[in-house]
């Protein structure tokens, strides 16, 4: 029987509570540094300082709400699975027996359009929560970039001028927050670019490594339709971790493997 790495994904669940605490811890120290230690007090300085502080705080809180909304939606949304009766016997491309056939009998589970298992969200990323995961990356990148930009002048002043306004604990927290957010912003930027290219090609991380090279990917419907399969057709919902009623019908089609009745969904791909 072929060795299957996916059955070991269940071992990653042990990291679940630790990763959630880590994410909330990073957000907590960032919130303290931006709101409590720096830009909160700056609101009362008057003049340009108060205006800049207000702008930073409004942007920070707005983006933080979207980040947390996207994060917990990704964590709590079922990524989607295939019907219990579905049992592929042969891999269509290689002609070999599919190692996932017996996975259900070993306590595992097939994920619909699985991209990967993410320890940060303590969940598999699949057809039904891929949009939420991408929005989580997007808003995390925006928040970390905002925090890095906001703390950069204070970081430079500390290194060059030796400005030491605040307690030693506050200075250490500011330094750590700047380094952490800069690191996350740079790493997430590359990760986000990679996933955008996958969305536009209607493929997943696993498929990108497993599919055979060919001039035309079988499920590529064009960038517009590929994008809409993940983010929906309603532009109002593109940047919100939710779907319109019509797009929810599409998600139900994916979950139930039913054929859509709407004419504009005739080309809907399940894999």
**Three-state DSSP state, 124:** strand
Q: With contact defined as beta carbons under 8 Å apart, do 129 and 77 qualify?
A: yes
Rounded-to-integer distance, Cα 201 and Cα 223, Å: 7
Which single residue is written with the structure tokens 């250490």?
172
Residues 6+ apart with CB under 8 A from 200: 223, 226, 227
Residues with a known catalytic role? 118
Tell me which DSSP letter residue 81 carries.
B
> Per-residue DSSP letters for 216-245?
S-TT---HHHHHHHHH-S-GGGTTSSS--H
Residues 6+ apart with CB under 8 A from 60: 34, 35, 39, 143, 146, 147, 150
Residues 6+ apart with CB under 8 A from 96: 2, 90
- 16-31 vs 47-76: helix axis angle to the nearest 10? 170
- 223-231 vs 168-200: helix axis angle to the nearest 10? 130
- Tell me the pairing of strands 116-118 and 123-125: antiparallel
């Amino acid at each position: 029987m072929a060795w299957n790495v996916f059955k070991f994904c269940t071992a990653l669940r042990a990291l679940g509570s630790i990763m959630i605490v880590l994410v909330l811890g990073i957000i907590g120290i960032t919130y303290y540094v931006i709101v409590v230690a720096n830009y909160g007090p700056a609101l009362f300085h008057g003049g340009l300082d108060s205006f800049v502080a207000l702008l930073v705080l409004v942007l920070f809180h707005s983006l933080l709400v979207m980040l947390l909304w996207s994060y917990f939606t990704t964590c709590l949304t079922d990524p989607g699975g295939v019907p219990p009766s579905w049992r592929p016997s042969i891999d269509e491309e290689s002609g070999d027996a599919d190692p996932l056939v017996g996975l259900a009998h070993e306590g595992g589970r097939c994920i619909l359009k699985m991209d990967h298992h993410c320890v940060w969200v303590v969940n598999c990323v699949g057809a039904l929560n891929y949009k939420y995961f991408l929005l989580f990356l997007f808003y995390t990148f925006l928040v970390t970039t905002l925090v890095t930009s906001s703390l950069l002048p204070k970081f430079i002043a500390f290194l060059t001028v030796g400005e030491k306004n605040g307690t030693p604990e506050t200075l250490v927290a500011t330094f750590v927050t700047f380094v952490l957010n800069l690191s996350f912003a740079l790493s997430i930027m590359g990760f986000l670019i990679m996933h955008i290219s996958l969305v536009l090609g209607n493929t997943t991380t696993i498929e990108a490594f497993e599919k055979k090279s060919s001039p035309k990917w079988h499920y590529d419907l064009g960038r517009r339709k590929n994008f809409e399969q993940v983010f929906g057709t309603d532009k109002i919902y593109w940047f919100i971790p939710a779907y319109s009623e019509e797009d929810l019908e599409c998600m139900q089609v994916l979950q139930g493997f039913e054929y859509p009745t709407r004419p504009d969904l005739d080309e809907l791909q399940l894999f």
